[in-house]
Structure 1
Amino acid sequence: MAMQVLFKIIRQSENSAPRVQSYQLEVEPGNTILDCLNQIKWEQDGSLAFRKNCRNTICGSCGMRINGRSALACKENIGSEVSRLQLSTGESRNRDVKTPEIIISPLGNMPVIKDLVVDMKSFWNHLEAVDPYVSTGARKIPEREFLQSPAERSQLDRTGNCIMCGACYSECNAREINPDFVGPHALAKAYRMVADTRDAETATRLEKYNQGTQGVWGCTRCYYCNTVCPMDVAPMDRISQIKQEILPLKDAADSRSIRHRKVLVELVKEGGWIDERKFGLHVVSNYLRDLRGLLSLGPLGLRMLGRGKFPLKFEPSEGVAEVRSLIEAVKEGARSEE
């Protein structure tokens, strides 16, 4: 059944302020957002700019924000979008009450070229930074193919689904505050190389992905990338898998990022929850070996004492044994999956 929908599109030219332009359409619930944008461009405003290609969730070209979340315009349809809006706002499902409004805006974390078209240069540069291709040395096997078993190939299935649409990059909080962070799309591809048995540069890759906050330790674990990924790649999970490959190779004293993760687990195993006094000393001062780090804790400690927020004692959880067994069970499960 046809319905009236009001589209509010954020329009913008390069280096200019954005503006909202509204278009009212009569559409079917099964029409995709891309169908509607095409209708606007063909029937109402030929100057509207957006990317498209396959129209079938394959190429990733039509990435944009639909009512505040990054998605593919060719995948989302009017019926599901209106239902989502009604569910989130609690509005009546009676379409006569109010014309549904759908807000379309460009992807985030990338500068706008025109309307819904963004400059993806940083997106591709960050992908290139992780060397997302199998090392040539590993493929130099004369006179025969480099075969993989079905089990080996299955390790690549999920990351192989990535279509480079930019949805995860658009929603990445870490990328928003840290322009050096390569982004979830790049690290998902990075894990594909780590898991690929044909690649001969795994150790070098892990060293590279472990550096500072441009690699895996820059991720804030907000899970937005998992939420918006249209292909179920789950980039956040792939980042965690790279971390699990790095941790056994590193001593806790190697870097603050490594210490942060290891000390957290150690303290939870020891007391059921985190002893905040030890956490700061172990992570920031490197078990009292980093004098500069230790001194940096002084001002914070004094402020906490002055406001009565410094824990003078620590009471272990009653469920320490249970927590410890759960951690060990998770570790054992991870080892068995390998």
Structure 2
Amino acid sequence: MQVLFKVIRQDQTAAPRVETFTLDVDPGSTILDCLNRIKWEQDGTLAYRKNCRNTICGSCSIRINGRSALACKENVGSELARVQQSLPFQADETAQPNAEMPTITLAPMGNMPVIKDLVVDMQSFWSNLKAIDPYVSTAARQIPEREFLQTPEERAKLNQTGNCILCGACYSECNAYEVNPNFVGPHALAKAYRMVADSRDDQTEARLEKYNQGTDGVWGCTRCYFCNSVCPMEVAPLDQISKIKGEILDRKGAQSSRIIRHRKTLIELVKQGGWIDERLFGLKVVGNSFRDLKGLASLSPLGLRMIVKGKFPLGFEPSEGASTVRSLIDSVQVLEASQVQLETLAETPEPVGG
């Protein structure tokens, strides 16, 4: 089959441009196979990264039809099928399919400056990874006579995050980093959770304090889910970020910061009424239940505008399923508490008999 490849090309000192290449390819050919053929057969100046060709090294990440992915993993047939599924539904089922040549657009990854064509400068990616100290620390322990052992259960906690190949796909799609360059990124925080979950590490509390630093850490995540949707190894960075948040929330009270208060108040209000009482939410979070006068004052302009436009809620009606929501939250909290107790018991060494 013939496929038209639109490649977004760019030099550091020039604006991006689109160049087209037509290939006669098999549907099973990978996008990397096609890039190789373009370079070897049509334009030897095309720049892109590659190495293992087996979804191991993560070198060949690019944007394929607007989605960050590994060029060695995606093939022509599945990519064209994905694009076809995303097209608007055609009401006229008898209409002839579009006779135009199928097209695949290839572009460099986002959130990183372009060096040349599909090659980007990943310095910020690596710097942010380094910032979370992605190494097991045992500095406080004495040098053991043997290696630090883990149970199969302890090791299993590291499997998912250990699959990360640092391809940069999640970083490329991260909306939070796009608007806040100080946010460390989903790749770094996924690795961060691996350190938090590692039973051999002795810096858990210090790590959690570091990851709790405002929008630079876990609270900078906007939960857009893009990182999970593009991860080729199913690391699910958003899930790992949520786990770190859970560890922090278990250790912090509502008075520790507005960010913590926001999350705890949200759960509290949903538990009470099934959904959020907007009148109380601002007062409890921003105004800190009338403890933060400056915060209360900041709410006044918004409150006045809402009153003038008739949008200020005068009352609150709990949802019909409020009791069900409350029982579900209670059940989850009881289950989480029991799991913590079981883990604590499992980690407690048995006394040695005399």
TM-score bin, normalised by smaller chain: over 0.9
Matching residue within 142, 148, 151 for 2:150: 148
Distance 1:329 1:65 in 2: 42
Aligned to 1:176: 178
Structure-1 residue corresponding to 2:352: none
CA distance in 1, matches of 2:337, 2:61: 37
Q: Give the secondary structure class of the aligned counterpart of 2:298.
A: helix
Q: Does residue 207 in structure 1 map to residue 209 in structure 2?
A: yes
Of residues 63, 66, 77 in structure 2, which corresponds to 1:65? Answer: 63
1:122 deviates by 0.6
Alignment of 1:184-333 (within 5 A): 184-333=186-335
Q: Is the 8 A contact 1:138 1:199 kept in 2?
A: no
What CA distance in whole angstroms lies between the structure 2 residues aligned with 1:112 and 1:246? Answer: 36
Give, in whole Å, the separation in 2 of the partners of 1:295 and 1:242: 32
Matched ranges for 1:91-110 at <5 A = 97-110=99-112
Matches within 5 A, 1:102-121: 102-121=104-123
Q: CA deviation at 1:96?
A: 8.1
Instruction: Could you tell me which runs of 5 or more consecutive residues in structure 1 were left unpaired when the two chains were aligned.
Output: none
* RMSD of equivalent CA atoms: 1.7
1:291-312: per-residue Cα shift (whole Å, max 9, x none)? 1111000111111111111111
Q: Deviation of residue 333 (structure 1)?
A: 3.8
In the TM superposition, what is the alpha-carbon distance from 1:142 to its structure 2 partner?
2.4
How far the C-alpha of 1:109 sits from its partner, in A, is 0.5
* Paired positions, count: 336
Q: Distance in 1 between matches of 2:151 and 2:338?
A: 18
In structure 2, what is the Cα distance between the partners aligned to 1:133 and 1:315?
A: 50
Distance in 2, Cα, partners of 1:208 & 1:320: 36
**Which shifted more, 133-142 or 287-296?**
133-142
Could you tell me how far apart the structure 1 residues matched to 2:30 and 2:338 are?
43
Aligned partner of 1:10: which letter?
Answer: I
Aligned residue type for 2:8: I
Could you say which residue in structure 1 is the equivalent of 2:343?
A: none
* Alignment correspondent of 2:77: 79
What SS is found at the alignment partner of 1:253? coil
CA 227–253 in structure 1, closer or farther in 2 if over 3 Å, else same? same
CA distance in 1, matches of 2:84, 2:322: 44
How big is the shift at 1:317? 1.5
Distance 1:325 1:18 in 2: 55
The 1:320/1:95 distance shift into structure 2, 3 A limit, reads closer
Q: Which letter maps to 1:195? A: A
Which residue of structure 2 aligns with residue 40 of structure 1? 38
Question: Taking structure 1 as reference, are residues 301 and 337 closer, same or farther at Cα in structure 2, changes over 3 Å only?
Answer: same
TM-score, reference length from structure 1: 0.96
CA deviation profile, 1:44-70 (whole Å, cap 9, x unmatched): 001100000000000000001000100
Q: Which residue matches 1:20? A: 18
Report Cα offsets for 1:106-153 as digits up to 9, x if no partner. Answer: 100111111100010111111111100001416643221111111100
Matches of 2:299 and 2:207, distance apart in 1? 33
Q: CA deviation at 1:218?
A: 0.5
CA distance in 1 between counterparts of 2:262 and 2:169 reads: 29
User: What secondary structure sits across from 1:241 in the alignment?
Assistant: helix
Question: Following superposition of structure 1 onto structure 2, how do residues 158-173 of structure 1 map, counting pairs within 5 Å?
Answer: 158-173=160-175
Residue 88 (structure 1) aligns with: 86
- Preserved CA contact (<8 Å) 2:271 2:326: yes
The normalised TM-score by structure 2 is: 0.92
Give the whole-Å Cα distance in 1 for the aligned partners of 2:301 and 2:283: 14
Distance in 1, matches of 2:323 and 2:23, equals: 61
What 5-or-longer segments of structure 2 have no aligned partner? 341-354
What is the CA–CA distance in structure 1 between the aligned matches of 2:142 and 2:239, rounded to whole Å?
A: 32
